[in-house]
Amino acid sequence: MYELIKKVMFRFQPETAHDIVELGLRVVGSYTPALLSPFASTFFISDARLHQNLLGTTFHNPVGLGAGFDKNATMLKGLTALGFGHIEFGTITPKAQPGNPKPRLFRYPEKESVQNAMGFNNEGLVKVKKRLESLYPFATPLGANIGKNKATTPENALEDYRILIEGLKDLCDFMVINVSSPNTPGLRDLQNEAFIGELFTMAKTLTSKPILLKISPDMEMDAALKLCECAINHGAHGIVATNTTTEYTLLQGAQSFGGLSGRVLTQKSNAFFKPLAEAFFGKTVLISVGGISDADEAYERLLEGASLVQVYSAFIFQGPSLNKRINEGILARMNQDGFHHIQEAIGARR
């Protein structure tokens, strides 16, 4: 059925198609929640062998939705029914902003890849906070991805993150610091030890809620390792690796702006994650994202040391059955390898 739906939806421009999906999930979640039960019973995998207690909450399966799909936390009920073990919404900025000029979202079906130059378009903290107040606590762990406004100078960026942490600390299960998107000018310049150290030091004074750092796959590995170590030493509860890439040579016909995600990122994200896992597995929570589209790749990241994985582009191309297939595939591979619980598999290569 999804293949039929996809044929229709892919006739629309990518951002228009996304808006249609958002409207549908928002309406169903808000006005006809009874329709969600059949989807949840079909797609949601809750097997005790996959349960983990992490970041102060329980994850019923390891497959989550990466940031960028539900920017304003409008689709949470509908997305949970589609099988996600956690949802990272956002990126949220203190003030509402329209994002970059359109067109800014491009799909490449033959490569199951997406290129986006959205630019943190979102409704801002006030509106999103009000929405979350009617939802939280939520059935599925929620992560808030937070970033600075485009107009905020690097000198004032710390204040943006302070506002966001204080505003969202009681309305999510964990927060993710986004300084790695390629679509906000100057944002990646904040991927330096001085700023990250100051940010996480400040964060500890504001909340005990887990806060993680999301990093770019385009960093030099030595710099990435030092940055992650700095974040952990200053109180970060985990690392999310990775964001999208600006290595446009990975995709023939790519635009010259924005970030690439999907299958074209698989090899790069996997290769980037391995030395991070080697350095920090057992020291902090690791979440792997980037080009994960099947159980083989998800299981690979778990064996390397990821406690959780996230999908984004693959969900667009494969639909709601993706989560079920990945989770069932992980369980099958665990059986083959003699693992009785997912925690035995996580970091088995370390």
In angstroms, the CA 210 to CA 237 distance is 6
In angstroms, the CA 332 to CA 328 distance is 6
Q: What are phi and psi of 110, to 5 degrees?
A: -65, -20
Q: Which of 113, 181, 269, 307 is catalytic?
A: 181
Q: What are phi and psi of 134, to 5 degrees?
A: -90, -5
β pairing state of 211-215 and 238-241: parallel
Nearest partner of 40 among 74, 4, 78, judged by Cα:
78
In angstroms, the CA 244 to CA 114 distance is 10
181 catalytic, yes or no?
A: yes
State both tokens at 184.
């906000």
Percentages of the chain per state (helix, strand, coil), in multiples of 5:
45, 15, 35
Q: What are phi and psi of 178, to 5 degrees?
A: -105, 105
Nearest partner of 264 among 310, 300, 217, 225, judged by Cα:
217
Catalytic residues: 181
